[in-house]
Every structure is written in C-alpha cells, then in structure tokens.
Amino acid sequence: MAPREKNNPLVLRGGYFFDYDLYFKTIEEAKEAESILFQVENIEKVINTDNASTFIFKGEDKHTKKPPTVQLVKKIVNPPKKILDSFDFVNCAAGYNSKEKAFYLHKELLKFHNQGKLEILNPWMLENITEETKDFVVVQIARFVNYRRLKPTACN
C-alpha cells in the first residue's frame, strides 16, 4: 500500500518506510527468529527491549536509503488476523505470512487506500494511560501527525 514513483509504479517512493516489522504467532517463534538473526554477520547494531528486538544491518536499503532495519515484535504475539486488529490505522493493517504464503488485509484497507483517507483502527497507545505507558502517548500522537502530513496510505 506504499506510495509509488510517478514514473514507475513498480518502485516504492522513498521516505515512507523506516523498518520492517515482523510479528509472530507465538513467543517461541519470535525467539527462534531472534536466535537466527543473531547469527547473521552483517548486523551493525541490535536494540533489545521488552517490546521488540531491532536489528540494524550494514549497508543501505534501496527503499529507505538507510541501513536495513528489521524489528521483531515480541509484545504482540497472535495469529495474523488478531495482530492486524491491534494496528493503530486501518491503512497499515496488512501483512504477509511466509509459512502459509498468504496475505492478510483489513477488510476496509483498500477502500481507505483508494479514497486517500487515514482511518483510525485501534489507537491502543492512547487508552488506559499509566505512568508506565505515558511515553507511548507521544509516539501515537507523532504517528497521527506524521501520517496526516504524508499521503494516508503510507505506513511503516
């Protein structure tokens, strides 16, 4: 659902994607993927938190013009449809399951993509704010501002 180059619709327009988020059905699958990535030689940096492990690779991603970055999400482990339900925007609720060779899309994703509208799905970062989660509020607000500034079909 990423914006495309005007002269070549097969090429993603730069500046919209910053990393690739990987979600898993179980925490065991996430840990297995993490152990595999730790064996890769061209990793420049790893950032580990309770929520995710972020692997920054050497080199330059052809879409972002930045080092390739993969984020293994550990906080949300569920079947694909349930994971998509946890996304903050309908416009971002898309995924691919490589084991099943299946794409998953929110049922209204294409509608809002074609209309060029940003549609809120589940702004969980703004619900039940506690001392522990207050930093997420800034992240969520920044995402709203960023996606309003960009074409609404752009999600990272």
What is the residue extent of each domain of the chain? 20-149
Stated pTM of the model: 0.71
pLDDT tens-digit profile of 49-58?
888 999 999 9
Q: Calculate what percentage of the chain has a pLDDT beyond 90.
A: 30
Average pLDDT (86-99) is 86
Confidence at residue 53, expressed as pLDDT on a 0 to 100 scale? 93
Q: Minimal CA–CA distance to 89: which of 145, 8, 6?
A: 145
Q: Which residue has the higher pLDDT, 19 or 154?
A: 19
Distance CA 5, CA 7 (A): 6
Quick: pLDDT tens for 34-79.
999 999 999 999 999 888 999 999 998 777 778 889 999 998 899 9
At 153 the pLDDT is 47
